[in-house]
Amino acid sequence: MATNWTTPYRAARRERNPAKLLELCEQARRGINDRMLALATQGADTLERRELEEALRRLIAHESKTSPPPIKSAVPE
């Protein structure tokens, strides 16, 4: 079910550059959330809702794998 969330979602999933990834993931998340809200007000299509939930899970997993590790402080805690 192609809607306006799929284009930014696919772009974010293909992105490997951490500098660009954050903005693309945010755009994809907004599109997914907007579609979920639309489904909630229209009467939920269960198949599409599951597709959206899975896309969100994959997006989060991709973002966490691609993001650089946090910078460790040189000063001991």
pLDDT of the residue at 8:
95
Residues 39 and 35: their CA atoms lie apart, in Å, by: 6
Distance CA 53, CA 9 (A): 12
pLDDT in tens, 9-50: 999 999 988 889 999 999 999 999 999 998 888 876 789 999
Under the banding of pLDDT at 50, 70 and 90, the label for residue 5 is very high
3-class secondary-structure state, position 70: coil
Tokens representing residue 5 in the block? 């969330």
**What is the reported pLDDT for 68?**
61
The predicted structure's pLDDT at residue 54:
97
Question: Do the Cβ atoms of 55 and 32 come closer than 8 Å?
Answer: yes
Residue closest to 31 by CA, chosen among 1, 61, 66 = 1
pLDDT at res. 42 = 83
